[in-house]
Amino acid sequence: MSELQEEPKQDRTGVELFAGAGGLAMAVHGAGFRPLLFNEFAPRACQTLEANGAKLRGDEERIPEPGEPWPLVAGDVQDLDMSYLLGRVDVLAGGPPCQPFSLGGIAKGDEDKRNMFPQMFKAMRQIRPKAVICENVVGLLRPSFKPYLDYILREMEMPFELRDPEATWQEHDQILIDAGRAAASDPSERYKVVMTRVNAADYGVPQIRHRIIIVAFREDLGVDIDQFREDVLPQYSQEALFRSMLNGSYWERHDVDPRVIDRVMARIPKDVPLDSDRSKPWRTFRDAIAGIDENEGKPLPKIPWDRLDRREYRAGGFTDHIGWPDARIYKGHTPNELDRPAKTVKAGVHGVPGGESVMLTDDLETPGGITYKHRYMTVRETARVMTFPDDWKLEGPRGEKMRQLGNAVPVKLGAVFADAVAKALDTAQRPRP
């Protein structure tokens, strides 16, 4: 059963914008926040959400009861009025489209019409959530975008300081700077903001994925920000992975050809500190295929080389584990290796770019050789790299499924921050009457 169809133990509530394939939605719901509203624009992503328990809301603005399907509004967030949820929402979550700031995109930034941060601010004003979770790309940290990122953070701190439609963002930013020098007359209209730069691999995701997570707490709640920062510190490291390979514990988990082990071990740095820093080993692509977390004990079967035929044959009973032909390794696009976290899953204009979703296998091109065969990752392997459970359904053709995964927040990464937000709200001071 999909995680979103199970009711949380406490009746905390959530709203998610830019819901996509549901990665952050699963994380937030798993932390105990019952969905009151979801919004997504892309038709295929909406079909994925519906396949996993969403139901189109229609025009009726109502609060769903516990146990009811979570309401989905499919369409442009700019047309969505959330005022009926005022005072009913614990957490607002979402990852505004990252293309305006992506290192792989056109990078027009705030001038790009796809910049949806203003819609997050509008939602904050309309529903006044206790907390906000926002994910985006590290491209926002580039020097050319850093001033706009600072403005985003200030506007998230003071979303009720409305921007004049005729004003530039720079002019409004100065107004925010001036307003921030004084205490708020109404603390429920101000937020404490924490931005964290993350690598998903440091949080137990079997993938190198650099992002920023912005979390805001309503000022009147008295949340312990220092404790929250501590609760979202990384728990995994590359050095711990190397140590597990050196002491053999990593290889004990996997049945690997000794030649492959020799190849991997030869590239481990000589200066790896042997004393433990208490971090856990990075998860690797091989770990993901073998099964981790809710997929533990459910290894994905190998794709036979004669079945790279685009045909669904339900290998081992797993959906979307389908071989795909014509994989090539492009210059500048090295393949994924099994004994490292996977490379960043990307969503290009036509799906995942060629070369980026190619993987090296343990199979040699010729017996006794040194060159290993490669193939495309399956959708199911990619979903595991994004830490989606196997029972989460993805809708659309292969390219659309891969695009949805590339745009998603890894479930396990989102869970660390959603759980920390839930803990912070549980332990926060009650608002003064």
Question: What are the boundaries of each domain within the chain?
Answer: 3-234+407-427, 239-399
Distance CA 354, CA 356 (A): 6
Identify the pLDDT of residue 332: 76
Identify the pLDDT of residue 1: 36
Distance CA 342, CA 357 (A): 9
Does residue 7 have a pLDDT over 70?
A: no
Instruction: Report residue 117's pLDDT band, with 50, 70 and 90 as the boundaries.
Output: confident
Identify the pLDDT of residue 381: 97
Identify the pLDDT of residue 104: 44
Topology of domain 3-234+407-427, per CATH?
Answer: Rossmann fold (3.40.50)
| Two structure tokens written together for 173 | 């930013």
pLDDT digits (tens, 9 = 90+) for 25-45: 999 999 999 999 999 999 999
Instruction: Report residue 348's pLDDT band, with 50, 70 and 90 as the boundaries.
Output: low
Distance CA 411, CA 297 (A): 19
Q: pLDDT exceeding 70 applies to what percent of the chain?
A: 90
The residue type found at 352 is V
14, 2, 116: which is closest to 52 by C-alpha? 2
Identify the pLDDT of residue 219: 96
For the segment 295-315, the average pLDDT, to the nearest whole number, is 88
Instruction: Report residue 147's pLDDT band, with 50, 70 and 90 as the boundaries.
Output: confident
| Two structure tokens written together for 378 | 């399956």
Identify the pLDDT of residue 102: 43
For the segment 293-304, the average pLDDT, to the nearest whole number, is 93
Identify the residue with better confidence: 50 or 10.
Answer: 50
Identify the pLDDT of residue 278: 86
Identify the pLDDT of residue 215: 98
Instruction: Report residue 10's pLDDT band, with 50, 70 and 90 as the boundaries.
Output: low
Check if the beta carbon of residue 286 is closer than 8 Å to that of residue 254.
yes
For the segment 187-192, the average pLDDT, to the nearest whole number, is 96
297, 270, 346, 281: which is closest to 104 by C-alpha? 346
Does residue 135 have a pLDDT over 90?
A: yes
Identify the pLDDT of residue 400: 94
Average pLDDT across the chain, whole number? 89
Q: pLDDT exceeding 90 applies to what percent of the chain?
A: 72
Q: Which of 85, 98, 198, 360 is catalytic?
A: 98
| Two structure tokens written together for 254 | 């996997």
pLDDT digits (tens, 9 = 90+) for 219-272: 999 999 999 999 999 999 999 999 999 999 999 999 999 999 999 999 999 988
Residue 98 bears catalytic tag: yes
Identify the pLDDT of residue 67: 87
Instruction: Report residue 349's pLDDT band, with 50, 70 and 90 as the boundaries.
Output: very low
Identify the pLDDT of residue 140: 85
Identify the pLDDT of residue 92: 98
104, 126, 99, 103: which is closest to 115 by C-alpha? 99
pLDDT digits (tens, 9 = 90+) for 74-114: 999 999 999 999 999 999 999 887 454 444 444 344 554 55
Does residue 69 have a pLDDT over 60?
A: yes
